[in-house]
């Protein structure tokens, strides 16, 4: 290694062409992600916004100020912002101990529990809202036991957001935490630092980028919350996403909806810019180790108490709402709700609702492949520290699909992708493309902290010794990031299964996805329709749990390789 470092140092004065080649390689890696986002995100969103601002054949930007001057719109903006901040803080407070437990402790049933933790994240938001309504609403569990109702308060929304985003923190932060060398913290303790001080001065700074990335994703999801707020908020609480949907689908005021989309877009862009600036200031090369050797059995009363507390919080906040859904799906005798899924009444679907299962799996697999390809290339392009401002700006732009209204994206697909050579309205690929837009940011944010933590001197040494860029990636980067790549693929698959906002507008009636089928059933009156929605939701949970459990087993079976 010393010889390799000497060779790198001696070669440094003449590496100008190498730097140019590195820049060209980064631009080459960025080409496909840029083209993908330009065609399937920027173009559809711009088309719908332009149509909304086109009044009587001319653009009226004054409409922006007219809308923002309305008191009810300002109230929506204020509520959207503060509930997202509080939801993010609560999620971090509840989920960070869980991230530590999954990263550092080894206990029976850990793989199954990790899959269970991720299941809520893929549920359609309308199902999450309905589950919490059954818990905290009129006639719900709390109402029956203690006469307490929370459906008229903001607490129901905040708890539902914690339920929905718990897995984001556990997966994003825990994935990096599991690979941090515990010897560094132990060395600090041997030098006299307390356990808290060692964690605060050694581990927490190393986890900073991952915590920031998780907080960003949680904030964006809660800032653009739709189904949860629509069901639990009622007429009292409304986010920008709910208001955009109301203006588009109920009032048919496309102009106001376009203005709100611009406001949401600008707010998300500002948050992403601040995030990109703060995270890059804290980045550093980390010493990563095999995740399999960092987890150990709990030792001492403190770790056992922490494990018990995390398990209790998971049982109350995550498992209980899921148990309510399962119980309601079996309310009818002889599995009547499940048997009804195999028949077509000719009103809600053109095909039996059970076919939505196969549709969702096919779409999710295709979307996962697209998201891993696009997100992997983008993460590789963003890895180097000498990237210019253009590349750093692209880092923030990759997150915009999480902050732009899914309603806007769905309508934009219908309006923009309707003419040759981009007439895709009748193609099956349209749904995976929309789902991949949401999956790509998760792939990038999951892989980027690990890629940037790889000591770049290893890459430089391999290059000096004659390795090609592809071999450098295969021999140096891939063994370190394979775990993150599998986690990213699992996230993309899970997100695709539960995507609803854009899919509801572009999924064909004869090929519905599970979330679309659930929403259509919930939108119709009748006990049978509601029961079928609960049955489909239960099937979605089982499918997701099995897929994630398989992913966990594949990952842990291969931990000896990386």
Determine the pLDDT at residue 85: 94
Of 224, 263, 277, nearest in space to 393 by CA: 277
Mean pLDDT of the chain: 76
Determine the pLDDT at residue 104: 81
For 307, the token pair is: 């494990």
For 166, the token pair is: 């718990």
pTM: 0.73
Provide the b/e sequence for 410-448 (b: ≥16 CB within 10 Å): bbbbeebbeeeeeebeeeeebbbbbbbbbbbbbbbbbbb
pLDDT band, residue 363 (cuts 50/70/90): very high
Mean pLDDT of 253-262: 78
Chain mean position to CA 36: 19
Rounded-to-integer distance, Cα 348 and Cα 250, Å: 20
Lowest mean pLDDT among 204-213, 462-471, 495-504: 462-471
pLDDT, greater one: 127 or 282 = 127
pLDDT band, residue 414 (cuts 50/70/90): confident
Mean pLDDT of 251-269: 78
Of 79, 77, 506, nearest in space to 259 by CA: 77
Mean pLDDT of 399-418: 77
């Amino acid at each position: 290694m010393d010889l390799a470092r000497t060779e790198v140092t001696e070669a440094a004065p003449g590496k100008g062409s190498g730097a140019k080649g590195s820049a060209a390689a980064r631009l080459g890696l960025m080409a496909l992600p840029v083209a993908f986002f330009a065609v399937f995100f920027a173009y559809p969103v711009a088309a719908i916004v332009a149509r909304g601002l086109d009044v009587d054949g001319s653009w009226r930007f004054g409409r922006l100020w007219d809308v923002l001057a309305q008191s009810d719109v300002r109230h929506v903006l204020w509520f959207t912002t503060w509930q997202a901040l509080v939801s993010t803080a609560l999620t971090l407070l509840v989920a960070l101990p869980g991230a530590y437990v999954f990263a550092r402790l080894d206990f029976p049933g850990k793989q199954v529990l990790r899959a269970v933790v991720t299941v809520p994240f893929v549920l359609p938001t309308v199902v999450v809202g309905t589950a919490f309504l059954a818990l905290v609403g009129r006639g719900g569990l709390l109402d029956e036991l203690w006469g307490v109702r929370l459906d008229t308060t903001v607490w129901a929304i905040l708890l539902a957001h914690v339920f929905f985003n718990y897995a984001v923190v556990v997966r994003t932060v825990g994935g990096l935490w599991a690979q941090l060398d515990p010897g560094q913290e132990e060395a600090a303790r041997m030098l006299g630092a307390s356990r808290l001080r060692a964690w605060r001065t050694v581990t927490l700074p190393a986890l900073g980028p991952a915590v920031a990335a998780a907080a960003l994703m949680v904030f964006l999801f809660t800032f653009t919350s739709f189904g949860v707020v629509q069901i639990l908020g009622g007429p009292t609480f409304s986010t920008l996403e709910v208001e955009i949907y109301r203006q588009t689908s109920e009032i048919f005021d496309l102009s106001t909806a376009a203005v709100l989309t611009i406001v949401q877009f600008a707010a998300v862009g500002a948050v992403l810019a601040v995030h990109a600036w703060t995270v890059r200031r804290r980045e550093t090369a980390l010493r990563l180790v095999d995740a399999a050797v960092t987890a150990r059995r709990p030792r001492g009363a403190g770790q056992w108490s922490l494990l018990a507390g995390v398990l209790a919080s998971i049982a109350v906040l995550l498992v209980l709402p899921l148990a309510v859904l399962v119980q309601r799906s079996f309310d009818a005798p002889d599995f009547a709700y499940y048997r009804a899924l195999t028949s077509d009444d000719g009103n809600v679907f053109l095909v039996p609702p059970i076919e939505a299962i196969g549709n969702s799996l096919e779409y999710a697999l295709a979307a996962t492949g697209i998201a891993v390809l696009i997100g992997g290339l983008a993460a590789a392009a963003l890895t180097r520290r000498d990237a210019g401002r253009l590349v750093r700006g692209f880092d923030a732009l990759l997150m915009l699909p999480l902050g732009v209204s899914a309603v806007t994206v769905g309508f934009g697909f219908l309006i923009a992708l309707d003419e040759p050579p981009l007439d895709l309205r009748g193609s099956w690929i349209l749904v995976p493309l929309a789902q991949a837009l949401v999956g790509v940011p998760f792939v990038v944010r999951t892989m980027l902290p690990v890629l940037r933590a790889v000591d770049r001197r290893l890459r430089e040494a391999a290059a000096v010794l004659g390795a090609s860029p592809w071999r450098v990636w295969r021999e140096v980067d891939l063994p370190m990031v394979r775990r993150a790549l599998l986690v990213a693929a699992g996230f993309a698959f899970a997100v695709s299964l539960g995507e609803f906002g854009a899919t509801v507008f572009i999924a064909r009636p004869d090929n519905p996805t599970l979330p679309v089928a659930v929403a259509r059933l919930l939108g119709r009156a009748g006990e049978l329709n509601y029961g079928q929605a609960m049955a489909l939701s239960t099937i979605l949970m089982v499918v997701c749990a099995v897929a994630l459990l398989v992913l966990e087993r594949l990952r842990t079976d291969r931990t000896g390789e990386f």
